[in-house]
Amino acid sequence: MQVYVNNAATSWPKAPQVGEMVASYVSGVPHHAGRSGFSGPDIAGECRKLLANLLQVKDATRIVLGSNATHALNIALHGIHWQSGAAVITTAAEHNSVLRPLHYLGKTKGVDVHILPVDKQGRVNPEEWETALAKYKPQVAVFTHASNVTGAVNDAALLGRLAKQAGAVTLLDASQSLGIVPVLPEVWGIDLVAFTGHKYLLGPSGTGGLYIAPEVDLEPVWVGGTGVQSDLDEMPVTMPIRYEAGTPNDPAIAGLSTALKWSAEHVLNVSALQSKTERLASGLVTAGADVIIVEPPRTPVISFTLKNWTVEDAGEVLQKSFEIVCRTGLHCAPLIHTYLGTAPAGTIRLSLSQFTTDEDIDYCLKAINALTHETV
């Protein structure tokens, strides 16, 4: 029996027909709306509209499509018109796709980066967030919506509102939340939202994007061909092509559209997935695992360690002896582990999806019981 519980890395299985749609675009005659010499479906425009509906965004052209959330975060962070002596606040729960661009900006542009602590569940304290806003007066406030290590969901509406009141541009990393919890930038007043298509949106790899509020002007990070307004020396000001230089990944975008349509027709049963997550977490505790306990709201991500096992060894046994596909280590979020008490090795992470069955959970618990009782 093989069990896949690594959905926080990339989802599997994908939504039905995603693979077929990608294959049909790869094998068919290439076309791209606005660039080809013959008409064809505007697959990017369709995908944008579907995403706008999910995000409850009025103007779909404010959604820039790209290859992943890291791509989107770099467009946002490097595209900011940074002021001299500018500050940015962020949290210790961030992924390296936020931390490394900020480190680079600190080295190259002198941006003063302030990283706020998180609690033992992985959330930032709103009072500490508000205090930091008043103290540092940041130009930008960037934070993850949901931790990829613990699954803890931050109150994005509150944190965003506090940052906007302090005059900061707000950037939300929704890599671990879009598709599984509401992400509502215009309702919450969030300026920028980065997301990926291959996790809880159930789309293929090589998809993602960035929502840019109308009042935010970013400098293009990538410049080049757009297929339109080719006589200009600089990137067009028209959205979204201002930030979409180069040939798009139409097969993957078509696959993402297929996944979005499927999800709209098959609404996620959040309570059922929450129940499965809690059952797995409770079972792991009973089995003797040291589980990071997370109160709702949360995503279906569980991190834990096992006594007498390194996380690497435990993960190897789970995958090779039990065929359980999971993840071990720091999960590209190195700073959070200091606050979770799991530094420097990190954790074993199991992450569910709507396709995870009760049998999958039972099998995972059986395997963990075997490890804790050393019966492998």
The per-residue DSSP string of 219-277 comes to --SS----SSSTT-SS--SSTTGGG--S---HHHHHHHHHHHHHHHHS---HHHHHHHH
pLDDT digits (tens, 9 = 90+) for 313-366: 999 999 999 999 999 999 999 999 999 999 999 999 999 999 999 999 999 999
Angle between helices 69-79 and 96-109 (to 10 degrees): 30
> 334 preceded by cis ω (within 30°)?
no
Supply the pLDDT for residue 287: 97
- Whether the full predicted model's pTM is greater than 0.75, yes or no, is yes
Alpha-carbon gap, residue 253 to 261, rounded angstroms: 12
Instruction: Give percent of the chain above pLDDT 70.
Output: 97
Residue 374 has pLDDT above 90, yes or no: no
CB–CB of 258/15 below 8 Å? yes
227 pLDDT band, cuts 50/70/90, is: confident
Q: Return the CATH number of 18-265, one of 3.40.50.10490, 3.30.300.160, 3.30.1200.10, 3.40.640.10.
A: 3.40.640.10
Which region, left, alpha or beta, applies to residue 98 given φ > 0 means left and ψ of -120 to 50 means alpha? alpha
As a whole number, the mean pLDDT across the chain is 96
pLDDT tens-digit series, residues 19-32: 999 999 899 887 76
pLDDT above 80 (res 149): yes
Least confidently predicted of 20-29, 75-84, 107-116, 191-200: 20-29
User: Band of the pLDDT at 188, cuts 50, 70, 90?
Assistant: very high
The reply to whether omega before 344 is within 30° of 0 (cis) is: yes
* Structural domain boundaries in the chain: 3-12+268-372, 18-265
Reply yes or no on domain 3-12+268-372 having CATH 3.90.1150.10: yes
Token pair recorded at residue 157: 């509406």
